[in-house]
Structure 1
Amino acid sequence: MNNKVLIVAVHPDDETLGCGGTLLKHKANGDSIHWLICTETTPSNDFFKTREKEIEQVSNMYIFDSTHHLGLKTMQVDEYTMSELISKISKIVNDIQPNIIYLPFKGDVHSDHRKIFETAYSCTKSFRYPFIKKIYMMETLSETEFAPGTKEDSFIPNVFVDISDFMERKIEIMKIYASEIAEHPFPRSEKNIRALGTLRGATAGCEYAESFVLLKEIA
């Protein structure tokens, strides 16, 4: 049986930075992949139209089976109540019924990431969402590595996915987000994306890899 995968992206580009190669690999293996974008810029903003076009391009590049928008105000997710957020995310999770879900890292420095993790993780209880069998946290450049350097907040991966065949496609997709990528030493540079992939690949014994924290697996 093929997998049904849901990626919870707090902001557009998180899906590519955090697990772009893994999503491409899922798709190549015949899995269905679904994209939940939690935030958006103000619709009256000129940048909104640009971002909408980027999202459409990115969706086509991955060949997502579905794309969902919560429409939350970016950088202001903490203004919503937990009950509001849980209701919105729960509906989409129940509509898709994924068996694999990728979430932001709980210790990410961005408050939007932490709030969405807390909310989305609440929507993975096995007695309410029995179809979810694997829950991962991903690392997102410019967010995860800037978390406090304490044991509790450190990203310590225990799952590595070989994305050697998909790194070039990941870079190509990331470049669609023209305003989100810049030259090194900017965290979201092509050089840094490759460097992280190389580091994780060295741990996994391959050229490039993405890494995750497995929170739960029900076999």
Structure 2
Amino acid sequence: MAYQEISKLFIAAHPDDEALGCGGTIARWSDQGVAVHLAFLADGIGSRNPDSDAEHKALEQRHSAAEAAARILGASSVQYDDLPDNQLDTIPLLQITQRVEALIETYRPDTVVTHHAGDLNIDHRRVHQAVMTACRPQLGHPVRTILCFEVASSTEWQPPGSGVPFTPNWFEDISTTLPRKLEALDAYAAEMRDWPHPRSREAVEHLARWRGATVGCEAAEAFFLARHLR
């Protein structure tokens, strides 16, 4: 059954992308009474675990981490598609797009938040392309706003000239929800790295503080506004 209330749909390639890129925004919107739904299209572990038993265990652990992070952030639902990690370029775009279309039909979101087109990670780029294809502006389509988030150790690792640069033009004040963003990242401890890696807890906080400083608040998350219909 399709959701009838106004909702926000976060479509990410892998569990942990949502906490890294927009965990503070998810928590903030949830606190405002918005129904926030999370969807992950790839499993995030397949390419690192060729042994099937180990892969199955790793997948269960990744899902458990995602569920814990979702509870911390206040998400209304979590859905997994478990497409192969780092291999979305081997799957026809139509098939990925159809999965996104099914999510939109289910949740009828007015806002979709997803990856930026210029990320180094191929799965991120394919998810972005699928979302933009599924959200073609047509009469009666529910999505009126599309935001693209940055993911530390992916968005900034794309060299100049090799991809579309991330130039944020939309900011969400996460001054009050930054602690929950960091707590959600603790749930993904297995995916985090030690400082000074950009996917370390310290680096994520530094980025949030810097993004906040650029717009005059304690902490913020930055987005690229792909479309906004008023």
Structure 2-normalised TM-score?
A: 0.90
Aligned to 1:195, the other structure's residue is in SS state helix
Q: 2:217: which partner in 1?
A: 206
Q: Give CA-to-partner distance per residue, 1:185-212, whole Å, 9 cap, x none.
A: 1111111111111111111101100011
After superposition, where does 1:126-141 map in structure 2 within 5 Å?
A: 126-127=137-138, 130-141=141-152
Structure 1-normalised TM-score?
A: 0.94
After superposition, where does 1:1-219 map in structure 2 within 5 Å?
A: 3-40=6-43, 41-42=45-46, 44=53, 45=55, 46-127=57-138, 130-150=141-161, 153-219=164-230
Q: Distance in 1 between matches of 2:29 and 2:171?
A: 14
Q: Give CA-to-partner distance per residue, 1:161-196, whole Å, 9 cap, x none.
A: 110001111101101111111221111111111111
Q: Distance in 1 between matches of 2:163 and 2:184?
A: 32
Please report the RMSD computed on the Cα atoms of aligned residues, expressed in angstroms: 1.6
Contact 1:94 1:129 in 2 (8 A): no
Q: Distance in 1 between matches of 2:96 and 2:140?
A: 16
Aligned to 1:55, the other structure's residue is in SS state helix
Q: Give CA-to-partner distance per residue, 1:48-68, whole Å, 9 cap, x none.
A: 221122122122222322211
Aligned to 1:12, the other structure's residue is in SS state coil
Aligned to 2:38, the other structure's residue is in SS state strand
Cα distance change on mapping 1:31 and 1:85 into 2, 3 Å: same
Cα distance change on mapping 1:52 and 1:151 into 2, 3 Å: closer
Q: Distance in 2 between matches of 1:24 and 1:129?
A: 29
Tell me how many residue pairs correspond in the alignment.
Answer: 218
Shift >4 Å, 4+ stretches: none
